[in-house]
Structure 1
Amino acid sequence: MNRIEAELENWHDFEVESRKEIIALLRGIGEKNQLIRMLVHGESDVCVTSILEVDADNNAVILDCSINPDQNQRILGARTLSYETTLDKIRILFSSERVEPCRFQGNPAFKIALPQSVIRLQRREYYRMNTPVTNPVRAVIPLPAELGGGTSSFPLADISCGGIAILDNKLLLGDTIGKKYEDCRIELPEIGTVVTSLQIRNMIDLTLLNNKTNRRLGCQFLDMQRGALNSVQRYITKLERERNARIAGLG
């Protein structure tokens, strides 16, 4: 499963299934000449394409083909393809099971079936909320044998529907970008516990006022179940309401 396929699964709650809305989205992408990343065999084989026409009568979408004949053959031979683009700063993800060759205005092109669903991710879904400094939310992460085994608890710095930032002031997790940790538990106050895999995506060392170093690790959720994602979204909404209440002087 490539990255976009995984996101299509993880972001199921932001799925658009209305045929009318899907047609409008895809036509908007085409009219604004937005480039689309077509993933043929994962991140290693990417074709940049665009929507030439949305043929609603025939439930088809016409795409520009690659200038590379070999890549065009790989595209035509692929069983599943994933697509990623943006429209008005909203990220759009969809997929197709196969691609057929066709012609559009006399030129070679590709034809795919009109997607039955697309994922639409507004910036709000990626919006990060700082978590409480006092009585912090914690992630319990199982450590592999090479890091000593057992589990360790790490305070969160922030949270979004895409992942968390944790503070590793004892430098227990190392700094390996891309390292994955399975079966991590995050205790969300008044919401419950979510279980997910985490992958370290970025790292920064912070020097505190006492000259001690604290390491901040940005982690992405992997293989998160829909119910757990809903819990994260509810917790973010809770934090946002509490912040707004404080700003309004009601907290």
Structure 2
Amino acid sequence: MPNSSNVRFELLESDSQYSQYLVRDPREVRFVIKQLAAKRALISAYPDDSPNFGLTSVLEAGGNDQSFVLDVAADAGLNEALERADSVICITQLDRVKVQFRLEGMVRVQHNNAPAFSAQYPDKLLRLQRREYFRLVAPVAHAINCFIPMPTATGDRVYEARVLDLSGGGLAIVAPPSGAQLHPDMEIPNCRLEIPDSPPILITLKVRNIFRVTQRNGTEVLRAGCQFVGLQTATANIIHRYILKVERDRASRVAQ
């Protein structure tokens, strides 16, 4: 069974401003599943907590039924694992937005005289990064770091955090290790953002949400989504210029 390059997200905490990440309305959940069916979106399906996955897609999600139909995976062993699993984590994209949901069991059925799976609609699903700002995934070759001052029992300490993505409105970081307790609505002044080929930038961050992320190697880290507070125009221009430069460089490499 293959090992996916996807990462799995589990929403730990979120403020009301970002509650759109979690979709709980049954009608909206069904609508998203129907969109996945209409667009034949490929879904990575992970049985239980396994790092292995199989590719599937939604074949039918119509009517007033409580369940919908998914295609079987190409791997027979993976299909057996999906059928045995108590729960299956499904990860996909819809209009460039990451969608994730958990299915509580999948049942083998016949659909149009072909093998398939039936599953109950999830009671909620997670949609990520539907933002008004273009978000840049930080280049691996040129790391972006943010240094975050945090009070501790022995005085202030500065934690170094790797930036995962960056936009004109905020950034996402790998949350610092235990000792720096981040939580939604927490405002952190005097953070130092270090962007390649630019002088360090002093910013104020407001924590908006915290996710647990399972990486490709199976390790878990915390991802904190943060909003810029009171960003100066000159500082915003530096960030925008960097985002444009990286995108131009990427486009140039693709064109070669």
TM-score normalised by length of structure 1: 0.58
- Match in the other structure for 1:32: 39
Structure 2: which amino acid aligns with 1:27? Answer: K
Q: Contact (CA 8 Å) 1:23, 1:56: kept in 2 or not?
A: no
Offset at residue 243 of structure 1 (A): 4.3
Offset at residue 59 of structure 1 (A): 1.3
Q: Contact (CA 8 Å) 2:162, 2:173: kept in 1 or not?
A: no
1: distance between equivalents of 2:62 and 2:172? 34
Offset at residue 43 of structure 1 (A): 5.3
Higher RCO (CA-CA < 8 Å; seq separation 6+): 2
- Match in the other structure for 2:179: 183
- Match in the other structure for 2:23: 16
- Match in the other structure for 1:71: 78
Offset at residue 116 of structure 1 (A): 1.4
Pair 90,100 (structure 1): closer, same or farther in 2 beyond 3 Å: same
Structure 2 runs not aligned, ≥5 long: 1-5, 137-145, 189-193, 200-209, 214-222, 238-256
Q: Give the secondary-structure state (helix, strand or coil) at the position aligned to 1:163.
A: strand
1: distance between equivalents of 2:150 and 2:77? 47
| Aligned pairs (5 A) from 1:228-239 | 233=226, 235-236=227-228, 238-239=229-230
Structure 1: which amino acid aligns with 2:173? Answer: G
Pair 10,35 (structure 1): closer, same or farther in 2 beyond 3 Å: farther
Identify the structure with the greater helix proportion.
1
| Aligned pairs (5 A) from 1:1-251 | 4=8, 6-10=9-13, 13=19, 14-42=21-49, 44-124=51-131, 127=135, 138-140=148-150, 152-154=157-159, 160=170, 162-163=172-173, 181-185=177-181, 191-192=186-187, 223=212, 233=226, 235-236=227-228, 238-239=229-230, 243=233
Q: Contact (CA 8 Å) 1:126, 1:161: kept in 2 or not?
A: no
Offset at residue 94 of structure 1 (A): 0.5
Offset at residue 152 of structure 1 (A): 4.0
Q: Contact (CA 8 Å) 2:11, 2:211: kept in 1 or not?
A: no
Q: Contact (CA 8 Å) 1:38, 1:82: kept in 2 or not?
A: yes
Q: Contact (CA 8 Å) 1:63, 1:111: kept in 2 or not?
A: yes
Offset at residue 35 of structure 1 (A): 0.3
Total equivalences in the alignment? 190
Structure 1 runs not aligned, ≥5 long: 129-135, 143-149, 166-179, 194-203, 210-220
Q: Contact (CA 8 Å) 1:126, 1:162: kept in 2 or not?
A: no
1: distance between equivalents of 2:57 and 2:30? 15
1: distance between equivalents of 2:198 and 2:181? 27
Q: Give the secondary-structure state (helix, strand or coil) at the position aligned to 1:30.
A: helix
1: distance between equivalents of 2:82 and 2:34? 22
Greater Cα radius of gyration, structure 1 or 2: 1
2: distance between equivalents of 1:42 and 1:113? 19
1: distance between equivalents of 2:230 and 2:91? 30
Pair 25,78 (structure 1): closer, same or farther in 2 beyond 3 Å: same
Q: Percent identity?
A: 17
Structure 1: which amino acid aligns with 2:177? Answer: Y
Structure 2: which amino acid aligns with 1:153? Answer: V
